[in-house]
């Protein structure tokens, strides 16, 4: 079993988001970067699968050299090897093309991504990648079991769950419940230093989009406080003033 | 020509579908071009024609026994085949779970630039720029799509459903599907009935650690039921398994933008606020007057949830009884 896990390097969830250069660039000053939490779940689940039935887990990232601490962490958690495509991840289309260029010669049985990255929230790489590779895709999976070349998954649907079965190879994107993340141990951290991390160059130069600017949401006008003893007034305000109920 | 995916569940269109059709029709109208809706799966003719009300000039229905249940490869191929045949330049999909499942595949098939989580109509003054949510609601990004064909996955509960009152012509297409388009298959679908799905809810009652334990959720559920709201929770609550993961809203959970979000006993950590800050009206109820949620809220009550909630529930029942 050969599994590829796509890793995005993202700002920690506690980050206070600000921008520089006239609101055209994300301000990375003082920001801690981490493996995208959903990708970390995908990685952990990949390891659980290969530990049970043998195989290898490769982590891939499209990013510049500053993403390497997150890639090393993926190796410390347990990935066998890693690949970094040396490029700024412009958008989902670009990232999917770069991963496709690497993956098409490697014949992975299973490719896992997070259901979205917590920075750009696209949730698109899995579907784009699967289409470019010409294989099936199942998104927002909360369980995945692989047996005899068939993956059985549960995925979120609006208002419920769906059980899906699919012959390998396929691309699946990890939703929160998939598993619990693993904290790398000392042995893993030591081993990660010598595990292979291959850097490959960009293939193709198709540009489909460009981010032209950012904006922070407008500040709220200020809270209207209701005394706790007259909490029932809330319903009247929501009905007659805010008109939402 | 503007093409829109008319998502259906069990033969019925969803509210997010009507929003997407209205959105597409608005763009079509300002560009003087037709709006074509594509329905995949089994939907009866009367319902297909009803999409004209929301602005579709034409409805293309793709149906076969294989399309009876959703499958990302088959649905994406059917949709992209119609898009190519109709000569679509802008393709609209609602960013629901199933919409997301096909959006990337459709973009790759059409070699189209794509933006998801879109919350504005395109600005074509200088390129083709749309606004989308980034950092799970902590900020917005303006993205310029530079390809000939563009795909927009628009956020549900963001755009109004508009009535255009058109009469849509209904045609069918076969989607050029083969067995190779159905490698993944649905085995079983279970939907919670009698409850409003959180992602589609206009009103949400949410609670956190301040409720002290899962045994105290009765009043949260009752208030939600009286208001016709969905229930949600904070990350610690779902981590402790007081509530299911599917209720967790925030940066690593679900991002929602209901008309009303009532947060009870949730302090308002930055990760939580990210997931709910686009809500139209926010109510924070917390006994700590310093709770960060009060800075993000429109209405606040500083008080113990166990004292405050019975009063609110009672008032909500009276309001509903009177209306």
Mean pLDDT by 10 residues, chain A (245 residues): 98 94 96 98 98 97 98 98 96 97 97 96 97 98 97 93 97 95 95 97 89 91 94 96 95
Nearest CA in chain B to A242: B281
**A214/chain B closest Cα distance in angstroms:** 4
Q: Which of B83, B102, B112, B141 to mutate to test the interface with A (most CBs of A within 10 A)?
A: B141
* DSSP labels, chain A: -EEEEE--EEE-TT----EETTTTEE--TTPPEEE-HHHHHHHHHHHHHHHHH--EEEEEEEE-GGGHHHHHHHHHHT-SEEEEEES----HHHHHHHHHHHHTTT--SEEEEESS-TTT----HHHHHHHHHT--EEEEEEEEEEETTEEEEEEEETTEEEEEEEESSEEEEE-GGG-PPPPP-HHHHHHHHHS-EEEE--------EEEEEEEPPPPP---EE--GGGTTHHHHIIIIIS---
Chain A / chain B CB contacts < 8 angstroms = 292
Mean of pLDDT values over B102-118: 98
- B259-309 confidence digits (pLDDT tens): 999 999 999 999 999 999 989 999 999 999 999 999 999 999 999 999 999
pLDDT at B191 over 90: no
pLDDT at B193 over 90: no
- B211-267 confidence digits (pLDDT tens): 999 999 999 999 999 999 999 999 999 999 999 998 999 988 888 989 999 999 999
Is there a contact between A223 and B301 if contact means CB atoms under 8 Å apart? Answer: no
Structure tokens given for B263: 């947060």
Mean of pLDDT values over B93-114: 97
Residue in the structure block whose two tokens are 């506690």: A14
- Of A206, A52, A122, A126, give the one whose Cα is nearest residue B130: A122
**Residues 58-87 in A contacting B (C-alpha not used; CB under 8 Å):** none
**A198/chain B closest Cα distance in angstroms:** 27
Structure confidence at residue A205 (pLDDT): 73
Reported ipTM: the value is: 0.95
How many Å apart are CA B314 and CA B43, to the nearest integer? 42
Is there a contact between A238 and B300 if contact means CB atoms under 8 Å apart? Answer: no
How many Å apart are CA B198 and CA B191, to the nearest integer? 12
Structure confidence at residue B109 (pLDDT): 98
**Residues 204-243 in A contacting B (C-alpha not used; CB under 8 Å):** 207-217, 220-221, 223-228, 230-239, 242
Q: Tell me if chain B has a CB within 8 Å of the CB of A169.
A: no
DSSP state of B201: -
**B319/chain A closest Cα distance in angstroms:** 8
Cα dihedral A102, A200, A98, A139 sign: positive
**Residues 3-32 in A contacting B (C-alpha not used; CB under 8 Å):** 11, 13-17, 19
Peptide bond into A169 cis (omega under 30): yes
Structure confidence at residue A138 (pLDDT): 98
Share of chain B above pLDDT 90, in %: 89
How many Å apart are CA B174 and CA B91, to the nearest integer? 19
Q: Tell me if chain B has a CB within 8 Å of the CB of A166.
A: yes
How many Å apart are CA B150 and CA B293, to the nearest integer? 38
pTM of the predicted protein model: 0.93
Backbone dihedral angles phi then psi of residue B114, each to the nearest 5 degrees: -135, 140
The residue that leads in pLDDT, A207 or B124, is: B124
Identify all chain B residues contacting A228, using CB atoms and an 8 Å cutoff. 301-304, 307-308
The set of residues, in sequence order, having a beta carbon less than 8 Å from that of A97 and lying 6+ positions away, is: A128, A132, A203, A204, A206
Answer whether B218's CB lies under 8 Å from B211's CB.
no
pLDDT at B44 over 90: yes
Structure confidence at residue B67 (pLDDT): 94
Structure tokens given for B185: 């298959």
Answer whether A99's CB lies under 8 Å from A60's CB.
yes
Q: Tell me if chain A has a CB within 8 Å of the CB of B307.
A: yes
* DSSP labels, B4-58: EEE-EETTEE-HHHHHHHHHHHHHHHHHT--EEEEEES---HHHHHHTTTTT-SE
Answer whether A169's CB lies under 8 Å from A111's CB.
yes
Q: Which of A24, A178, A208, A233 to mutate to test the interface with B (most CBs of B within 10 A)?
A: A208
DSSP state of B313: H
Nearest CA in chain A to B181: A136
Structure tokens given for B232: 């949600």
Rounded to the nearest integer, the mean pLDDT of chain B is 95
Answer whether A7's CB lies under 8 Å from A36's CB.
yes
Structure confidence at residue B175 (pLDDT): 87
How many Å apart are CA B168 and CA B37, to the nearest integer? 9
Answer whether A131's CB lies under 8 Å from B108's CB.
yes
**B148/chain A closest Cα distance in angstroms:** 9
* Residue B303 CA from chain centroid, whole number: 33
């Amino acid at each position: 079993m050969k599994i590829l896990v796509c890793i995005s390097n993202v700002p920690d969830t506690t980050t206070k988001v600000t921008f520089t250069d006239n609101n055209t660039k994300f301000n990375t000053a003082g920001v801690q970067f981490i493996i995208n939490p959903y990708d970390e779940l995908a990685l952990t689940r990949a390891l659980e699968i290969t530990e049970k039935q043998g195989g290898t887990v490769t982590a891939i990232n499209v990013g510049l050299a500053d993403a390497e601490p997150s890639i090393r962490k993926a190796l410390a958690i347990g990935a066998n090897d890693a690949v970094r495509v040396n490029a700024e991840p412009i958008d989902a289309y670009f990232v999917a093309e770069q991963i496709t260029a690497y993956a098409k010669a490697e014949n992975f049985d299973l490719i896992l991504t997070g259901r979205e990255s917590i920075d750009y929230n696209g949730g698109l790489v899995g579907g784009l990648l699967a289409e470019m590779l010409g294989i099936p895709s199942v998104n927002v999976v909360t369980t995945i079991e692989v047996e005899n070349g068939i993956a059985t998954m549960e995925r979120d649907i609006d208002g419920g769950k769906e059980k899906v079965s699919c012959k390998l190879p396929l691309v699946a994107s990890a939703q929160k419940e998939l598993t619990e993340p693993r904290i790398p141990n000392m042995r893993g951290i030591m081993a990660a230093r010598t595990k292979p991390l291959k850097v490959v160059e960009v293939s193709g130069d198709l540009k489909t989009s460009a981010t032209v600017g950012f904006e922070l949401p407008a500040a709220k006008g200020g809270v209207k406080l209701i005394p706790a003893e007259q909490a029932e007034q809330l319903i009247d305000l929501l009905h007659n003033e805010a008109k939402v109920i | 020509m503007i093409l829109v995916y008319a998502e259906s569940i069990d033969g019925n269109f969803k509210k997010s579908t009507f929003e997407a059709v209205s959105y597409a029709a608005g763009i079509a109208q300002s560009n003087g071009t037709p709006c074509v809706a594509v329905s995949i799966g089994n939907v009866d003719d009367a319902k297909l024609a009803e999409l004209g009300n929301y602005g579709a000039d034409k409805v293309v229905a793709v149906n076969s026994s294989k399309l009876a249940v959703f499958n990302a490869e088959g649905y994406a191929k059917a949709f992209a085949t119609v898009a190519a045949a109709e000569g679509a330049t802008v393709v609209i999909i609602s960013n629901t779970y199933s919409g997301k499942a096909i959006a990337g595949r459709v973009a790759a098939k059409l070699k189209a630039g794509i933006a998801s989580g879109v919350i504005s109509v395109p600005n074509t003054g200088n390129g083709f720029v749309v606004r989308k949510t980034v950092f799970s609601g902590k900020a917005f990004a303006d993205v310029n799509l530079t390809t000939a064909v563009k795909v927009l996955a628009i956020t549900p509960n963001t755009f109004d459903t508009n009535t255009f009152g058109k009469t849509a012509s209904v045609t069918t297409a076969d989607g050029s599907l083969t067995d190779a388009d159905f490698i993944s298959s649905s085995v079983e679908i279970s939907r919670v009935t009698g409850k409003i799905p959180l992602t589609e809810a206009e009103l949400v009652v949410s609670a956190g650690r301040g409720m002290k334990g899962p045994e105290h959720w009765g009043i949260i559920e009752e208030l939600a039921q009286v208001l016709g709201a969905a229930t949600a929770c904070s990350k610690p609550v779902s981590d402790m398994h007081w509530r299911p993961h599917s209720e967790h809203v925030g940066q690593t959970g679900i991002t929602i933008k209901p008309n009303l979000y009532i947060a009870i006993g949730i302090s308002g950590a930055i990760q939580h606020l990210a997931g709910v800050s686009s809500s139209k009206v926010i109510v924070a109820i917390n006994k700590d007057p310093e709770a960060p949620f009060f800075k993000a809220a429109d209405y606040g009550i500083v008080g113990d949830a166990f004292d405050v909630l019975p009063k609110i529930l009672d008032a909500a029942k009276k309001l509903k009884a009177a209306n």
